[in-house]
Chains A and B, each alone.
Chain A
Amino acid sequence: MNDSISEMETRSARHLEDANMHVVRTRGLSKAFGTITALEGLDLDIPKGCVYGMIGPNGSGKTTTIRILNGLLRASSGKAWLMDEAVPVTSNIHRIGYMPQEMAIYMDLTVLENLELFAGMYSMRGERFKERAGHLLDMIDLKDRGCSLVSELSGGMKHRVSLACALIHDPELVFLDEPTVGVDPELRAGFWDYFSELKRAGKTVVLTTHYMDEAVRCDRVGMMRLGRMIAEDTPEGLTESTGTDNLEDAFLRKAREGGG
């Protein structure tokens, strides 16, 4: 017990030095809904320019974490910082993007109107918007569907529009909650290419997924189970330390070690 506290102190001391290296930090972040503990004592340090994957089954606390970080939920205890500003952030809010798990776009607007609305929230208009929207429509492969109503698009297309809305203001840090659910394999590969592209541009991507196979493409992976982080490392580190050859087995091994 004492060990872990002193360990935490040294860790946080270390992080104070290179705080600006970590765009997401949490300390002892917990959330309870009534008697149910959704998240317990989460310590996160996500470095800038990294693709960070949170993996774990439904109910493991991934979405709760993301919602707390985005200011949609208040933590029961613990603290969190985004770019050194305590959540809920205000002055950094325009540097952050969020794609919720639900589609969360307007079905009765066109693709471009959706983009324009979210751009408007960041006071992005005119030529700057047109240029950015064109680029994103290209990226999500919906160049000719800009004027289509979202309700007329297929499920996968809607998902892509939702991703584009999260990226319209060119955020430095973007949270993607299950961005690849219901997206066909080809497009999913395209998404991952784009995440790598974001990373190369120095952006940080924090995403959740329950597809263990695609988590290998993350720089770092946090394994969540029953509201706790049970392991965190590079994908290779996780497989090596558990003596397995894939993340799925690594997760199961860690889950057993964790006493579950």
Chain B
Amino acid sequence: MNPGRVVAIAMKTLRSLRHDRRTAGFLVLMPLFMIAIFGYTFGGAIKDVDVVVVNLDEGGATGSVADRIVADLETREVLRIEYLDQPEAGEDAVREGRAWALIFFTPDFTSRVEAAIDASRASSFADIGLLDLYLDATNPNIAQAVITEVQTAIQSVLIDHYHVNPVIVMNEHMVYGADAEFIDFFAPGVMGLAAMMITFMLSIISFVRERSTGTLDRLLTTPVTEGEIVGGYALAFGVVALIQSTVILVAAMLLFQVAIEGSALMVLLTIFLLGVGSQGLGFLLSSIAKNEFQAVQFTPLILFPSILLAGVFWPLEAVPDILRPVSDFIPLTYAVDACRSIMIRGWGIAEVWPQLVVLAGFAAATLLLSAYSLKKRG
């Protein structure tokens, strides 16, 4: 390995990116765009869910339980409540998509609830309070939010006004991520995804071009070795991945107040290894693609499994058992896991070294195979 030649190849690669202003801009703006889009859409908690309340509760001696529950709901912003008089009208609103849910209190709601409370105090059994919830569960996240919200309101009304204390109270201790929001969870994922996608695409297209224009052959007639060519490209695209992840980190910190509990350098090291490995993968697949058009078609093939199975947006625990081994084979899985642990848990090399070893192995394997594939010629 002659370092001068490795650097010369790397410089050449970076220079051609610099001359191509649109691509260069894309390299910086694309991850920015991704983090902004994902951040603003998924980042915030769910709020202003349109629901209809039909409250026919006639109340009791101490007022209406239904009124108290609704009042409690109004103190938060999750639900945006419209009041109607007829349960049928409320149901129509749900059916026609104007509201996600109808919360319906029957006229005897308070009396039934109070009877149930008295009965339980007397250790006997009586009627129970029934609250009807008509839900449009098209979006499971929203449906879940509505259910949770109503349950919360019921609990607090029971405790505050009827002193019905729950028997078991969960004492939550956040070991990690006490202040973590959804954005903190997926910012590391987006970073890994962007680095992988870009280095893979750039690499496969560059090498298809190197092969089809004859420049690769020409390089191979000079003293440069296969390993030096591959090393030079790895260095260049590793740098590209570093620049990108820095952009994402800074954007996530400034736009979404994402905190980095651990070392930012460790995050960048992880992304660098992932970038180098992805470029090696692109290099390997470039020998199968005959032209740039075919090369582009490889991108979704690599990208989709990574997006879906590497735990970028959905936790690995949500991946079906059959596909779990696939997740274990996707390098992005390890990068995202490591970045998350560093950024949210504040872990260091002592804890994330297994992931880094996997990524380094991935990079080493793809680079060695790439160099070998160059050597093997007719």
Contacts from A to B (Cβ < 8 Å): 33, 67, 70-74, 93-94, 96, 98, 100-110, 113, 116-118, 120-123, 125, 149, 165
A105–B222 contact, CB under 8 A?
no
Contacts of B378 in A (CB 8 A): 33, 73-74
B16 lies within 8 A of chain A by Cβ = yes
A106 and B215: CB pair below 8 A?
yes
A-facing mask of B217-232, CB < 8 A → 1, else 0? 1111111100000000
Q: Are B213 and A110 in contact (CB under 8 A)?
A: no
Can you report 30 residue pairs joining A to B where beta carbons are below 8 Å apart?
A: A33-B378, A71-B221, A72-B217, A74-B378, A93-B222, A96-B221, A98-B218, A100-B218, A101-B214, A102-B213, A102-B214, A103-B213, A103-B214, A104-B213, A104-B214, A104-B217, A105-B215, A106-B215, A109-B15, A109-B16, A116-B8, A117-B12, A120-B7, A121-B219, A122-B222, A122-B223, A123-B2, A123-B4, A123-B5, A149-B19
Closest to A104 in B: B214
Contacts of B223 in A (CB 8 A): 93-94, 121-123
> Majority SS of interface residues in chain A?
loop
A121–B228 alpha-carbon span in the complex (Å): 10
CA distance A241 to B223 in the complex (A): 42
- The B interface is mostly helix, strand or loop, or mixed, namely helix
A125 to B3, CA, bound (A): 13
**Inter-chain contacts of B224 with A (CB < 8 A):** 121
Docked Cα-Cα span, A110 to B20, in Å, equals: 12
Query: Which of A67, A73, A106, A165 has the most chain B CB within a 10 Å cutoff?
Result: A106
Interface-centre pick from B5, B20, B221 (highest chain A CB count, 10 A): B221
Chain A residues with CB under 8 A of B5? 120-121, 123
- Closest A residue by C-beta to B210: A106
B377 at the binding interface (Cβ < 8 Å): yes
With A73-B377, A121-B224 given, is the CB distance from A104 to B2 under 8 Å?
no
A103 to B15, CA, bound (A): 19
- Distance in angstroms from B202 CB to nearest chain A CB is 12
Write the chain A residue with the least CB distance to B8: A120
Give the distance in Å from the alpha carbon of A118 to the alpha carbon of B274 in the complex.
29
Contact, CB under 8 Å: A106 / B222: no
